[in-house]
Amino acid sequence: MSHVDVTLRINGAAHDLTVDARTTLLDALRDRLGLTGTKKGCDRGQCGACTVLVDGRRINSCLALAVAHQGVEIVTIEGLADGDDLHPLQRAFVERDALQCGYCTPGQICSAVALLDEARRGWPSAVTAELAATDITLDDDEIRERMSGNLCRCAAYVNIVAAVREQARA
């Protein structure tokens, strides 16, 4: 086996690790660093439970190799809150009851954080009416399309969309 020394910058802190070159970012987070908020769902990039932010963009950490993520800022669900002060989307999910079992919730929230940033930057989705628009309205269709990479087996979608919509309007 080939082992590699890596330094991962996660939630504002540097972590030095020696990992097998095939170690996924998800496994490094959960198994090596104890950041278990990021969930392993399908382990195939299909469910979104493992969504984290890399330099502000969402990725499926189960498909990403840890060794490929030196020099970037990784934010997990644990890094969104400021101590006991929840991120506004975390609060909205709680207030809107946008979870049932909670397994997908960390990935849903990380994805929603990126979704809001993408819309602010004017990035269109497959359902954006005007591709050249710089002011994108996050209506329910836009939110559903942009969250489509995150599955919820409990079907809390109505409340997830409501929580994201609330924060899009805030």
- Give the domain extent around 107: 88-169
| Same-domain check for residues 95 and 55 | no
Please tell me the predicted confidence (pLDDT) of residue 84: 92
* 92, 57: one domain: no
- Pairwise CA distance, residues 160 & 170, whole Å: 16
Which DSSP category does 49 fall into?
T
Could you tell me the two tokens for 8? 């991962």
Residue 27: both structure tokens together = 């496994």
Residue 132 has what pLDDT? Answer: 81
CATH (domain of 130): 1.10.150.120
Total domains, the chain: 2
Residue 114 and residue 139 share a domain: yes
Does residue 75 sit in the same domain as residue 96? no
- pTM (predicted TM-score): 0.95
- Residue that finishes a domain, picked among 47, 79, 111: 79
Q: Whole-angstrom Cα distance, residue 83 to residue 26?
A: 23
The CATH number that applies at residue 32 is 3.10.20.30
State whether 108 and 125 are in the same domain.
yes
Residue numbers of the chain with a pLDDT score lower than 70: 1
Question: Sheet holding 51-54: strands in order across?
Answer: 13-20, 3-10, 73-75, 51-54, 57-60
| Distances from the Cα of 61 to the Cα of 29, 71, 92, angstroms | 9, 16, 24
Q: Domain end: 53, 79, 105, which one?
A: 79
Q: Indicate the helix (H) or strand (E) that contains 5.
A: strand 3-10
pLDDT, position 41: 95
Task: Say yes or no: 113 and 142 in one domain.
Answer: yes
Neighbours of 90 (CB within 10 A): 19
Does 92 lie in the same domain as 75? Answer: no
Residue 95's φ and ψ, nearest 5 degrees, are -65, -35
Give yes or no: residues 70 and 93 share one domain: no
Predicted local distance difference test score (pLDDT) of residue 118: 95
